[in-house]
Structure 1
Amino acid sequence: MTARSTSAILQLDESLQPPLYAKRGIVLVRGEGAWLYDSDGQRYLDLMSNYGVNILGHAHPRVTAAIVAQASRLLSCHQSFASDVRAAFLEKLLAVAPHGLSRAFLSNSGAEAVEAALKFAWAVTGRRKVVAAKRGYHGRTLGALAATGEPKYRQPFLAVLPEVVHVPYGDAAALAEAVDNDTAAVILEPVQGEGGIYPAEPGYLAEVRRITREAGALLVLDEVQSAFRTGAWFACEHAGVSPDLLCVAKGLANGVPIGATLMTEDVALALPAGVHGSTFGGNPLACAAGLATLETLEDDRLIPGAAELGLYFRQQLLALGHPLVRDVRGIGLMLGLDLKVRSTPVLKALQERGVLALPAGTTVVRLLPPLILSRDEVDLAVARIAQALDAVRER
């Protein structure tokens, strides 16, 4: 590959793709642990982990070794054939899943996992209506997009979207009023991510579980972003709730594209043969990376570690007492810094100081760091966040 300047790479990147993304103006070329490096040698503390994907950080040796070993054996294997590594991965994933989830459909992304869950709910119940939450985010394929709460994403496609009713998140009474005998499924995030980092209030998910059971509707929980990083394998476990269908992706294989739709035995056995499929879903490479990721999360005790480090991170952010900060929300290493100003200038100031973070809505700085983050790196992050807030305040 011919070496190119940073400016040439940026120009090519922008000119050869449709203008769908807000570009950051840097070229990332490698990563190590919780750090990323650009083409000019600048390093950045990664507090976004590619929207929550690199849960073990970058170039993790155990995941890398699994990928290299599997790439030398077999890359693809359609799910009409059995696969040794796929079987081992599924066994491990379902062993840590919430109670009652005993089977999984494998795909390639979070949106695909959600799309499959909705199709399965329609197929099993024979109903079409879906109830979702305002501020919710479930992806941008057509079924997932219909469930996504933000109108700006849905507006261009309203004429072709399935029927979805959106109710306020956390309002069980509003949800109960919306759920009826035509409802196939209720889909919710146990922690709303894109919407601003809003964990479900105590008792809410249990009440939703009761409402769906009484109506004969299925409960779909979208844990694409929240899985593994809240101090439990799945965020719904904090509420003691098990859904009929659960969607997971992002951190599941530490950067290799994968999605999984977990389901109960009843849902699985009610699905018509051939109702859904995926050519690349469940490929051996992704399954090998996923198995290594899950084993590392367990062996290195990173799930309870996320609870401990996340609490420390949140406490340190609150201790800043910064006048631009309205609140610090979240659970484990899924945190949101709610500001009294727009988040974009703060994110830019952070990037200038070698820290990468995300927006969530217009005023929230979203923090989804790798679970391998150290306490020293948290302290550095808090110091840089304070500097960025000061810089924005002084403008």
Structure 2
Amino acid sequence: MTLKAIKTRIYPTAQQQEKITANFGYCRFVWNQLLDMQKQRHANGGSYVNEFGMNYLIKCLKQEYPFLKAAESTSLLHVSRDLHHAYQKLFKEHQGFPRFKSRKFPKQSYQCNAVNHNIKLVDQHYLKLPKLGCLRFKAGRQPVGQIKNVTIRLSATGKFYAIILVDTDIEPLKRTGKAIGIDVGVANLMITSDGIKYPTIRFDKRLSKKKHYWEKRLARRRRQAEKEIAWDKHNQVPEPRELADFKNYQKAKQMVAKYHEKIANQRDNYLHNITKELVEQYDVIKIEDLKAKNLMKNHKLSKAIANQSWRELRLMLEYKCAWYGKQLFIVNPRKTSQLCSVCGYDDGKHTLDIRQWTCPNCGINHDRDINAAMNILKATA
């Protein structure tokens, strides 16, 4: 059995939207209360309270704040689990201190467990969720298998999604007996050891004019709104306006988010198509372990490198290979562009403007990227 997440678009009624928004607030309130408690305990010399201790504190919070009883109960347990994981990353990986959450953050979410069939598919178009009842949904594929949990998410564009995690059987793909090495780049997204080059598509540039049109209006409308807010405070208005009260600013903000979302969706679709094709055709895939963080220091290429989404490409290959019974190896990229893939001669470091070079030892002319992909194929993880 394999865990698989299926993203569905849900269409809640106005009453259901109010309940979802309220549950976002309940989870955010519990997170902030627990985080504040942990910080105060640390300041007073106390020890860290683990996940089970925080679960007990949630019961106390419900007694102190009765409005929390209206929340979906398992969603509050997920808050303590997420906070515990955040602290574990801080302790073990030094990832940064957990921060308080704000209601102004455009993306909100909560997660609830499937208990006693409280989450189930009514039919092909309706989904039953706890505290909400039946909601109409739309998905590219129907969830098949045992439902484990559901994450309700509100995007920056105001759309509601339900990410359903199911435990299902995935049939392994047929064996082809082929292996491939992959070199990632900027001019081309991927170059394989078979000589195939997958071109880079700049989705951000395709919509850059429309996005920039709304970004200018967003900046202008925000500036005007801040002046109005400052004027209200100067005149000591009892309830001064906030940015959320300016509809033209909110519209521009949503339009900018819409174009960002469209760019991200187009990029993800392109990566999904490429990775599925690779997993179907090859049994063994080797890809270089490229550190994008170091390359992003080159400010002339940083935007182009960020557009490539190399990390997302690698993550997709990892879980798809695990699903379909294929093997993925991560290879150190050191000297892959310098060694001759035929005789192994080290020609030294080449600058980025050199795209082809001839091996002085064996006389073979190499395409820089294809030669690197062939070296990656020969390398061991």
Q: Provide TM-score, normalisation by structure 2.
A: 0.21
Higher relative contact order, structure no. (Cα contacts within 8 Å, ≥ 6 residues apart): 1
Q: Provide TM-score, normalisation by structure 1.
A: 0.21
Larger radius of gyration: 2
